[in-house]
Amino acid sequence: MAKIDANNPTTEKLIKIVSIVIPVAVAALFGIRIEGVDLSFLPPLYAGINGLTAFLLILALIAIKMNNMKIHRMFIRTAIGFSILFLLCYVAYHITSDPTTYGGDLKPLYYFILISHIALSVAVIPIVLYTYLWAWKGDFVRHKKWTRFAWPIWFYVAVTGVVVYFMIAPYYQ
């Protein structure tokens, strides 16, 4: 496996490609249905992964406020890993399961949270990757500048993922 060099100009191109390919691939996968595979256990699992990601982001924030870069880095890398794991579980569930419709009385609230969650989950991909890249390059001024909006968006996406799960869970078949 090739090692990615943070200072290589193709690294930024790779971030742009990943930031486009992931949302397009996820959208395309919603048109694919694999029958006969039961992954109904995944929604609470990936909601839990979202919850853990939010918790790790809080711990990363605390660590950096305490000037503990090593622990901060560990929490952020783990949060990125959990975000990737979430994405894999989410896609696996949705290509093997029929869509679930929200049936509660809080439809406007549910759809507001869901739509903002989806839109920001697309936007957060390049934001987090660039924020990570600036730290990796040692450009902590830029990293800190990007973190001011990267962290709250990523945290919102993680928390609303859990909220969406709890709101839709009673309607799973």
Cα–Cα distance measured from residue 83 to residue 53, given in angstroms and rounded to the nearest whole number: 7
In the structure encoding, which two tokens stand for residue 149, read together?
Answer: 């909006």
How much is the average pLDDT of 96-107?
92
Do the Cβ atoms of 108 and 44 come closer than 8 Å? no
Is pLDDT of 95 > 50? yes
What region, left, alpha or beta, does residue 127 occupy, with left being phi > 0 and alpha being psi -120 to 50 degrees?
alpha
Res 128: pLDDT: 96
User: pLDDT confidence of 124, banded at 50, 70, 90?
Assistant: very high
Res 134: pLDDT: 92
Res 9: pLDDT: 76
Cα–Cα distance measured from residue 69 to residue 72, given in angstroms and rounded to the nearest whole number: 5
Q: What is the pLDDT of residues 28-62, one digit of tens each?
A: 887 888 999 999 999 999 999 999 999 999 999 99
Helix %, strand %, coil % of the chain (to 5): 80, 0, 20
Res 29: pLDDT: 82
How much is the average pLDDT of 80-99?
93
Res 11: pLDDT: 86
Domain boundaries of the chain, sorted by first residue: 39-171
Do the Cβ atoms of 43 and 172 come closer than 8 Å? yes
